[in-house]
Every structure is written in C-alpha cells, then in structure tokens.
Homo-oligomer: A and B are copies of this chain.
Amino acid sequence: MRTITIWNEFRHEREDDEVAAIYPDGIHEALAELFRTGATGDQYEVQTATLDEPEHGLTEDVLDETDVLLWWGHEAHDEVADEIVDRVQERVLEGMGLLVLHSAHYSKIFKRLMGTTCSLQWREDGATERLWVVDPGHPITDGLGECIELPETEMYGEPFDVPEPDQLVFTSWFEGGEVFRSGCCYRRGSGRIFYFRPGHETYPIYENEEIQQVLQNAVEWASPREGAPRSFGERA
C-alpha cells in the first residue's frame, strides 16, 4: 500500500470566510478525502501536513513513509524553511513523487527543482478553461476524453518560465484569449514531478471528477516502483 502526503499552506482557509466556506477543513482535507474514498481509495494511506505544524509537518519520519507528496501553497511560500525544502528535494531526487498544484508553481520546492523563476501571467476572471489532452498516450490521461472543461477558473498564461517539460500532457485554452502548459512532467534524480495547473482557493476545482481522475492518475504515475531503490546516490 502506498502512502500519500498532502501538504497545504492552510492559511486562506482560516483567514478568509469565502475560502473557509468551500474548504472548511482545508484544501488538504478535501484532497485527502478524494484519495481515501475515490476509485483507488483502498490503494493509499493518506497523511496531511501543514505550514504551521512543527517542521511544517514534514518530519524525517513522515517523509520516510511518503511515496508521493502533493504540494499546495499560495501566499506564504517564503515562510517554508529552507532546511525543509532541502529535505523534500533530497527525497524527490531519491525517488519520491511530487505533485505541484496550481499556485505552488511559485513554491520554493518547485523553483528549487526547476532552477528557473517559474513565473507566469495570471488574471482572476472566473472565465472558462479547457484543458486539452495533447498526449493521449500518457498514463496521466487515462479515462479522460479529449478535453476537460472548467466553467470558472483563474487564468494562467504563457510564458511559463520552466525548463522544457519531459512530457507536456495538457495545454489550457482560456476564454479570455490565453494558453498555458497546464500539465508538465519532469524527472529529477530518481523522482517524478508533475505540475498541474487547475485548483483554486475559491473555485471548487477539485470537486470536478475529471480533475480528480487526473490527480489519481498522476499519483500513480509519480509513485516509486515497489522494490526500486529509494536512494539515487547509493546506487552508485
């Protein structure tokens, strides 16, 4: 059985009534619920961790057990301690999977692993987004149709300052006229990293069943193989 750890900044939900109404227990609990009860619910042990816990909840013990880490952050990226970023980076390079969600493009851990600014354009406009599957043979797209339509989203636009993805899985179309590389796969060391754009603190994106399907597929894709070495360095 694999273990997923869902990390959330968990500030919006405690400071903003509008966000609290949608995610009363925090986005991490909504995501945890998805993995506990979804179609693959019996396949995963689910942990959560948040910024204001000691060591941000990401102790050595927690990471030792983690196969895939999901990361949500937005307004407090700078409060994440560098030593925890070091620790997470080390685990990813050793094989732990990492899913980077929405505004976490600006998280320290994603910028660390990419080596670039990870900047992009954005606009809060609540207009329609379509995520087109550009790589229908990729396992992250299993079970999807040709695109996912989200009626109300925040816009993210190019240029997205990341290294050329190993595989580009989704490209978004926005009603307001922009495009964005919304699903990007990377390998760093022995770890697999998936950046996935959808998500928001007020639009209920994670209730969409196709988005849930992508998250489950991505966790499966990013999971280290059973019996595979957990350490890159030790192989040599």
Chain A residues in contact with chain B, CB under 8 A?
89, 93, 95, 112-117, 119-121, 130, 132-137, 139, 142-143, 146, 157-161, 163-164, 166-168, 171-174, 177-179, 181, 186-191, 225, 227-229, 232-233, 235-236
A120 to chain B, nearest CB (A): 8
Partner of A130, one of B114, B132, B177: B177
A234 to chain B, nearest CB (A): 9
Partner of A189, one of B132, B137, B146, B157: B137
Contact indicator B158/A133 (Cβ below 8 Å): yes
Contact indicator B161/A164 (Cβ below 8 Å): no
What is the oligomeric copy number?
A: 4
B contact residues around A142 at 8 Å (CB):
225, 227-228
Contact indicator A236/B121 (Cβ below 8 Å): yes
Contact indicator B163/A132 (Cβ below 8 Å): no
Asked whether A133 and B161 contact (CB < 8 A) given A114-B115, A121-B236, A171-B171, the answer is: no
Contact indicator A173/B181 (Cβ below 8 Å): no
B contact residues around A130 at 8 Å (CB):
177, 179
